[in-house]
Every structure is written in structure tokens, then in C-alpha cells.
């Protein structure tokens, strides 16, 4: 990670169709904006199913990680497991995600700043809204659960997608944005967030 500038880290955020329909685009932008991150790319699109599938096929470990997460959540609640094999179960979810993501407009964004990937994940909250903490976007603005989604055989509606790692972010940004759509500019607020000296505040 030599020469890696944490301050320039970028991450992808997508306000999913449920977030757009719930009129939460402004609120979501406000949350990331107010923490000090910089918006460097923004667009509204209706994703194709292919785009959504490509997006959810980036991480070869995704099915094992997501399936395990769901199974652990069922166990923690003392509920019978939703299937025999977590990977097989997650592959079923992956087949449902393109229908959800392509059901209407989404707003995709690139946010940049110090540790943007982790900062955005923290503000977004954990995957299942039922257990996402208050104060996070998923915890504050929605109430879906794995069990409700699984009973209805659909993907969890949790308002936001945000990249899980820097590597994932770079690959995801390349799916949703052309290089020329990502802007390079300086915000006045970056001086107070990052600059070593604070000369110029006092007159």
C-alpha cells in the first residue's frame, strides 16, 4: 500500500429503487456529505439486469460471505435455517438481486475522502435493516428483514448499496461510471478536514 493516499479513497454508493421510491435520495446524500466526504460522481439510471448481475458477481467470495451472514442471523434469532447450504442459498439471492435493482431508477454516486469505503459502510449500517443500528441510514429509514424477504422470495430492501472494500470499489465504479464522469476538484471544506496548518482562519 506504498503511495496509497487514504484521503483520495473512492467508494461506490447506489441508492437502490426502494430508496428512490421512498424519497430518500436527498437525505442519503446529506449524510455522506455532512461527514466530510466529497461527491465526485453522480447519475440516475435504470440498471439493466445484466449490469446488476455483473455488479453482484465481482467478488468470488460473495456467496460464501453473504450466505454465512444470513445463516448466522437466523441462528442468532433462534430461527430454523432458510436452507441446507449457505452458498446455494446466497446464489438464490444473487438471482433475485437483478430483478430488484432493475425495477426502477437508482442513483449511483462516487464518494471520495479519507477511508471513504469504511466511512460509508459505517454510515450505511449493516445489511439487514431489522438489526442495523439506529443512526445509520438502514437503521433509521427502513424496517425490512431477511425472514420477510425470504418468505416473499425477494431481495432485502435496504435502500443502499455501498462497496465492501477498496478493491471492490474500484471494480464497481468501473461498471457504473466512465472515467470522464468522475470529477477532480477541491472543496474549501477540505482545508479544515485535511490541511496541516490552519492559517487563514483568524483575521
Active site residues: 161
Rounded to a whole number of angstroms, the minimum distance from the CB of residue 201 to ligand TYD is 39
Least distance in angstroms from the C-beta of 111 to ligand TYD: 15
Quick one: CA dihedral 193, 13, 71, 76, positive or negative?
Answer: positive
DSSP run (H or E) holding 29:
helix 25-34
Binding site for ligand TYD (CB under 6 A): 66, 69-70, 93, 97, 127, 146, 149, 155-156, 158, 161, 164
Closest to ligand TYD by CB, 39 or 68: 68
At closest approach, how far in Å is the CB of 164 from ligand TYD? 5
Nearer to ligand TYD, 10 or 66 (CB): 66
Of 118 and 127, which has the nearer Cβ to ligand TYD? 127
SS3 track for 50-114: HHHHHHCCCCCCHHHHHHHHHHHHHHHCCCCCCCCCHHHHHHHHHHHHHHHHCCCCEEEEEEECC
Amino acid at each position: 500500500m506504498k503511495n496509497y493516499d487514504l484521503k483520495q479513497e473512492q467508494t461506490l454508493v447506489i441508492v437502490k429503487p426502494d430508496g428512490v421510491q421512498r424519497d430518500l435520495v436527498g437525505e442519503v446524500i446529506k449524510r455522506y456529505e455532512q461527514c466530510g466526504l466529497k461527491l465526485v460522481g453522480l447519475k440516475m439510471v435504470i440498471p439493466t439486469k445484466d449490469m446488476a448481475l455483473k455488479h453482484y458477481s465481482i467478488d468470488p467470495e460473495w456467496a460464501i460471505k453473504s450466505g454465512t451472514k444470513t445463516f448466522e442471523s437466523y441462528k442468532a434469532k433462534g430461527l430454523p435455517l432458510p436452507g441446507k447450504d449457505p452458498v446455494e442459498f446466497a446464489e438464490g439471492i444473487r438471482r433475485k438481486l437483478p430483478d430488484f435493482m432493475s425495477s426502477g431508477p437508482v442513483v449511483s454516486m462516487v464518494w471520495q475522502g479519507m477511508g471513504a469505503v469504511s466511512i460509508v459502510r459505517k454510515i450505511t449500517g449493516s445489511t439487514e435493516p431489522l438489526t442495523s443500528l439506529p443512526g445509520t441510514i438502514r437503521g433509521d429509514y427502513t424496517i425490512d428483514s431477511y425472514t420477510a424477504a425470504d418468505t416473499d422470495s425477494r431481495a432485502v430492501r435496504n435502500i443502499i448499496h455501498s462497496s465492501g472494500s477498496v478493491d471492490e470499489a474500484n471494480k464497481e465504479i468501473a461498471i457504473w461510471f466512465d472515467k470522464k464522469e468522475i470529477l477532480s476538484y477541491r472543496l474549501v471544506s477540505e482545508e479544515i478536514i485535511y490541511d496541516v496548518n490552519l492559517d487563514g482562519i483568524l483575521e
